[in-house]
Structure 1
Amino acid sequence: MIGQGDVVRLFDDLDLWDCWPLAHEDGRTVRHMDRQWWFFLSAPVFPDPVQRHGHARIRLLSLGADGWRDHGNAFADAFTPGSREWAGCCVLMDDGETVQHFFTAAGRRGEAHETCEQRMFLAIGSLTADGPGDWQAPREIFVADGQRYVLDRQDMGTPGLIKGFRDPAWLRDPATGKAHLLFTGSAAWSDHAFNGNIGIATFDGREWVLGDPLIEAIGVNNELERPHVIVRDGRYYLFWSTQTHTFAPEAVAGPNGLYGAVADSLAGPWHPVNQGGLVAANPDAEPKQSYSWWVTGEGEVWSFVDYWGMQGRTTGSHPELLRSNFGGTPAPRFTLCFEGDSVTIG
């Protein structure tokens, strides 16, 4: 259970949520200048934290023996093409110098009203004494095809029903050497309101090419968020986050939690870990205390503190808790143990 002592704010004026590390191509977390380098979505503190999604910027922090250091927004103002910056991943290439930062551009810079359009971009930079930086102009790497993945500007977005084309996450497949990006998608061949899937694109040496979804949840769940793969002992473990309210009404809703599937190769077939697919969940007493889990190459799990200490109350009936009980900061971390089809908390 997350308690007061676990909610350590890094900023008074900024909320932090989804995070990802600068990682090596094989998934290991980079240690540079004796520090880890982490990216967070950030936004000014609003009375209602839901507003943060419409103002999100990617912020760079580093973690060392002296604790956290803030390095400001990862990208300069007006550098990225969206009206907001949403989650992605950042990879230090094996030359030890080149950095590739994949991210989601939400909306379009200068748009008259906020949309939920999502596009995926790459900014190439380098590793400097001050961490990843020196970014070149970002370029769009691939687009939704409207057949496997929903292509929709989404002028309006309802929480839990927004269609996905976001959250690029790197994988260098050790079996083939090929580079892939996994992402949060929505099935274009289905008009079901709950039609989430996990997509993949592969780099063919010249460009990124869309592939068929790895997993689909039509009629079950709308958002399989921030999918990423960890390879252990020749097996592939695919993780994603989801929330109770994104399950279809006719489905058996699971808790807000980290879910997973396992396969012997990236091509599958995939089947749920731990039989039902659940890896870690918020406790029943505090079902929204943390969210957006990211498993590092070392098997360490990061997330952020969401609504904690609610004690059975809701923000609907207690709007005064919207601000006071939103964490907006990194949550306590834990490690996973991998054994065959089982992934447990260590």
Structure 2
Amino acid sequence: MSDSIISTRWTPDDVARIDAASASHAPLITPQRRVIDTLDLWDYWPVQRTDGHPAEIAGGTLFIALSAPILPDPDARHAVARMRLLHRVGADWHDLGPLLPDGLSPGSREWSGSAIVLSDDRTITLYYTAAGLRDEAQTSFIQRLFQTSGTLSVAKHAVTVSRWTAPSECVVPDDIHYTSEMTGGGAIGSIKAFRDPAFFRDPADGAEYLLFAASLAQSRSAWNGAVGIARRETDGEWQILPPLIDADGLNNELERPHVIVWNGLYYLFWSTQTKVFAPSGPTGPTGLYGMVADALFGPWRPLNRSGLVFGNPPDAPYQAYSWLVLPDLCVQSFVDLVGLTEPARDVAQARAHFGGTPAPELRIMLDGDRAWLA
């Protein structure tokens, strides 16, 4: 099958079709109350059923978020990120503490992923990014995909997930489709990707997949982002496959990619930022992008002919990021830099404007190759 998969390219011609005057923009975000007063939170996702719908657990929804202490420089959070478990019941959030025990993860920090509760309502399987190496002397940008399973327990609405299995590396870059070279560092537009695993079960045949943000191995461009994919085989192992989408020469980071099925069509979404488009142009706003296809392996067509679903508003181009579209078309993200029209001039200004908490939820509408904010 892998030999017959042809990647769809997201091209400069696609992005050039973005019309700034008519493009859809998210509404302005006002300062939001923090879910946890002492922590920054970002990149959050619900515990889902295998069909992608959030699981109802103890009268609410379990969420996993990246978390860090409130540091003077909000960008420094990426170097100390830990996954944290939260329970949302109605409008109320309850902090359940770190998701994984200290020392369990093989990285120096934990980055985004997805989590599935199995049909037994007791087992949660977590797919996530282990960034760096445990006990490394200098922070590195190595990224590896791991999976682990824990036991869900609910007693009088007290929710715990414990007895996590030893994390196992589930998908490894092959240096044919996806590069394992991560020494680009963390400068703007230079960090390479092998992260953000998102589980997807194809309703057409029940096959299970992981999508992930990747960087192309056979590229001559520094801007070589891709949406990677792997399929679970009958023995439980994951087979790496060619990318669904590549942005070679256009964009360096197609982050947190995920698929939903709506009215019989497949919709693939990702987040990206203006600063990671190739400087030769064209560029799009920081926003939610996507494509549509008749089947998982395409060919894919850019939504709205450009790929842009919606961007941050021109008056607040950095206000939110890391959008996740759920099967009911609800869109979740986190509050990034609120109220800035230009990049923060220094660390103090960035800290003063960084939200570090879930953003107000949005909703999109889908009709064939068109997508817009409800």
Same fold (TM over 0.5): yes
**Number of the residue aligned with 2:191:** 162
Shift in alpha-carbon separation, 1:66–1:151, aligned structure 2, 3 A: closer
Aligned pair 1:315/2:344, yes or no? yes
Looking at structure 2, the residues matched to 132 and 184 of structure 1 have their Cα atoms a distance apart, in angstroms, of 27
Match of 2:369 among 336, 341, 346: 341
Amino acid of the structure 1 residue aligned with 2:103? A
Counterpart for residue 166 of structure 2? 137
Q: Does 1:36 align with 2:64?
A: no
Structure 2 distance, partners of 1:41, 1:205, is 32
Residues 166-219 of structure 1, C-alpha deviations (whole Å, 9 max, x = no match): 000000000011000000000000131000000000001220000010000001
User: In structure 2, do the counterparts of structure 1 residues 272 and 45 end up closer, same or farther at CA, with 3 Å as the change threshold?
Assistant: same
Whether contact under 8 Å (1:32, 1:131) holds in the other structure is no
User: Does residue 331 of the first structure (1) align with residue 359 of the second (2)?
Assistant: yes
Larger RCO, structure (CA 8 Å, separation 6 or more) = 2
- Residue 239 of structure 1: SS of its match in structure 2? strand
Change (3 A) 1:250 1:69: same
The answer as to 2:37 corresponding to 1:9 is no
Matched, 1:240 2:270: yes
Q: Does 1:189 align with 2:218?
A: yes
Distance 1:66 1:186, change over 3 A: closer
Amino acid at match of 1:335: R
Q: Any conservation in 1 of the 2:73–2:348 contact (CA below 8 Å)? A: no
2:228 paired residue among 196, 199, 212: 199
SS at match of 1:322: helix
What's the counterpart of residue 82 of structure 1?
107
Give the conservation status (yes or no) of the 8 Å contact 2:109–2:132.
yes
Give CA-to-partner distance per residue, 1:110-141, whole Å, 9 cap, x none. 01111000000001122211144331111101
Q: Answer whether contact 1:115 1:155 (CA < 8 A) is retained.
A: no
Corresponding residue number in structure 2 for 1:276: 306
Match of 2:261 in 1: 231
Query: Shift of the alpha carbon at 1:297?
Result: 2.0
Q: Counterparts of 1:244-255 in structure 2 under 5 Å?
A: 244-255=274-285
Contact 1:19 1:40 in 2 (8 A): yes
Alpha-carbon contact 1:261-1:271 (below 8 Å) kept: yes
The 1-side partners of 2:243 and 2:91 are apart by 42
Check the 8 A contact 2:184/2:191 in 1, yes or no.
no
Of the candidates 139, 152, 156, which is equivalent to residue 127 of structure 1?
A: 152
CA distance in 1, matches of 2:167, 2:286: 33
Counterpart of 1:39, as a letter, is I
How far residue 32 of structure 1 moved from its aligned partner, in angstroms, is 0.8
Q: TM-score normalized by structure 1?
A: 0.96
Offset from partner CA, 1:139-181 (integer Å, 9 cap, x none)? 1012100110011242733232111000000000000110000
What is the identity percentage for the equivalent residue pairs of Structure 1 and Structure 2? Answer: 45
Classify the secondary structure of the residue corresponding to 1:320: helix
Q: Any conservation in 2 of the 1:102–1:168 contact (CA below 8 Å)? A: yes
Cα distance change, pair 21–3 in 1 and its aligned pair in 2 (3 A):
closer
* 8 Å Cα contact 1:240-1:258 kept in structure 2: yes
1:65 deviation in Å? Answer: 2.9
- The corresponding residue for 1:174 is 203
Aligned partners of 1:29 and 1:298 also within 8 Å: no
| Structure 2 alignment gaps of length 5 or more | 1-26
SS of residue matched to 2:350:
helix
**Structure 1: gaps of 5 or more residues:** none
What amino acid does structure 1 have at the position aligned with 2:83? I
User: In 2 relative to 1, CA 341–106 (structure 1 residues): closer, same or farther, beyond 3 Å?
Assistant: same
Kindly state the Cα deviation for residue 3 of structure 1 after the two structures are TM-superposed: 4.3
Aligned residues between the structures: 343
Q: Do structure 1's residue 54 and structure 2's residue 79 form an aligned pair? A: yes
Once the two structures are TM-superposed, the CA of residue 98 in structure 1 deviates from its matched residue by 2.0
SS, match of residue 52 in structure 1: helix
Report the alpha carbon displacement of residue 267 of structure 1 after superposing the two structures with TM. Answer: 1.0
Is 1:109 aligned to 2:139, yes or no?
no
